[in-house]
Amino acid sequence: MKIVVIGGSGLIGSKVVKELRARDHEAIAASPASGVNTITGEGLAEALAGAQVVVDVANSPSFADDAVLEFFETSGRNLSAAERAAGVKHHVALSVVGTDRLAESGYFRGKIAQEKLIRAAGIPYTIVHSTQFLEFLGGIAQSGTQGDTVHLSPAYIQPIASDDIALAVADYALGEPLNGVVEVAGPEKVRLSDLVQRYLSATHDPRKVVSDVHARYFGAELKDDTLVPGANPRLGKTGFDAWFSQSQAVR
Ligand SMILES: NC(=O)c1ccc[n+]([C@@H]2O[C@H](COP(=O)([O-])OP(=O)(O)OC[C@H]3O[C@@H](n4cnc5c(N)ncnc54)[C@H](OP(=O)(O)O)[C@@H]3O)[C@@H](O)[C@H]2O)c1
């Protein structure tokens, strides 16, 4: 099959492309770096010609509230128009577990808008809801940093390694459209504030985590289970310790 991966140069996109090629499919890594831009429309029709499946794992270059909403709305509209014109049979998108519970957050209002457009587009689809990537722990720490301390909610997360989510996305791209949401999570359910402290200690980062039930996660206050999946998610195999030692070995 010809499968176009929008955001194919990114953390997840590059791994999805590799996995699909390893399974003998024609996977195209499409992003501004290769002349395909879902905001301007540049290169989109050419990239999608003859494609059966589109996987959207792009992300907004800016996390400012208005910029994220503008990115996912414009990108979603341009993408669905181009997919209709090309006769694409399956649209697969990567979103976040709990997105519908996170409307207080500007970033997640962008993801809610992206999902709404997908449901309305009339193209068979699968929305893959992932938990936080283990690779994103540093970014989460950064988002809560105030001087020498990091203010984070003690709500639960069940983070996943990027290798495991990329494998799941490749599987869903090769499967039938589900016209719904599937959830994918890591093997361990832990408190966000505890895990980030573990990550900072393991990387010899002197910042200390302050656990605060009111600390906002990208603008949203969390309940204990806001970021964790419901019953029967697909589970990745890599927990924090295995991921951390692998990621240190790669350095
Ligand atoms: N971080 C998490 O914990 C988490 C959890 C669950 C789901 N997600 C979702 O996972 C997805 C992928 O995240 P990621 O961390 O892999 O992203 P990433 O590494 O930041 O990569 C973003 C990709 O988007 C592309 N892109 C940016 N602007 C574009 C445009 N105008 N047209 C086409 N492509 C464009 C980039 O292309 P260039 O390199 O060419 O600029 C890059 O390939 C996101 O949708 C995010 O919401 C994230």
Summarize pLDDT for 154-175 with one digit per residue, the tens: 999 999 999 999 999 999 999 9
Q: What is the pLDDT of residue 20?
A: 98
Q: What percent of the chain has pLDDT over 90?
A: 98
Name the one residue in this structure whose structure tokens are 């990745």: 236
Q: What is the pLDDT of residue 250?
A: 77
Nearest to 11, CA basis, from 169, 225, 124, 123: 169
User: Which of 14, 15, 18, 31 maximizes ligand 1 atoms within 8 Å of its Cβ, making it the mutation to test the pocket?
Assistant: 31
Domain of residue 206 covers 2-250
Q: What is the pLDDT of residue 248?
A: 84
CB-ligand 1 contact for 32 (6 Å cutoff): yes
Kindly give the interhelix angle for 162-174 and 11-22, rounded to the nearest 10 degrees.
50
Please, which pLDDT band fits residue 18 given cuts at 50, 70 and 90?
A: very high
Per-residue model confidence as pLDDT tens digits over 40-53: 999 999 999 999 99
CB-ligand 1 contact for 39 (6 Å cutoff): yes
Please, which pLDDT band fits residue 38 given cuts at 50, 70 and 90?
A: very high
Q: What is the pLDDT of residue 249?
A: 78
User: What is the spatial distance between Cα 43 and Cα 31, in angstroms, rounded to a whole number?
Assistant: 9
pTM of the entire structure?
0.98
**223-58-175 Cα angle (round to 5):** 85
Contact between 89 and 124 (Cβ < 8 Å): yes
Contact between 5 and 29 (Cβ < 8 Å): yes
Please, which pLDDT band fits residue 9 given cuts at 50, 70 and 90?
A: very high
What average pLDDT does the chain have? 97
For 215-233, what is the mean pLDDT?
A: 97
Give me the CATH number covering residue 126: 3.40.50.720
Burial of 147 from C-beta contacts in 10 A (0-12 / 13-18 / 19+): exposed
Tell me the backbone φ, ψ of residue 210, rounded to 5 degrees.
-105, 120
Q: What is the pLDDT of residue 245?
A: 96
User: What is the spatial distance between Cα 105 and Cα 127, in angstroms, rounded to a whole number?
Assistant: 20
CB-ligand 1 contact for 114 (6 Å cutoff): no
CA of residue 207 to ligand 1 center, whole Å: 27
Q: What is the pLDDT of residue 88?
A: 98
CB-ligand 1 contact for 229 (6 Å cutoff): no
CB-ligand 1 contact for 67 (6 Å cutoff): no
Q: Give me the number of domains the chain comprises.
A: 1
CA of residue 246 to ligand 1 center, whole Å: 23
Per-residue model confidence as pLDDT tens digits over 84-131: 999 999 999 999 999 999 999 999 999 999 999 999 999 999 999 999
Tell me the pairing of strands 180-185 and 125-130: parallel
Please, which pLDDT band fits residue 78 given cuts at 50, 70 and 90?
A: very high
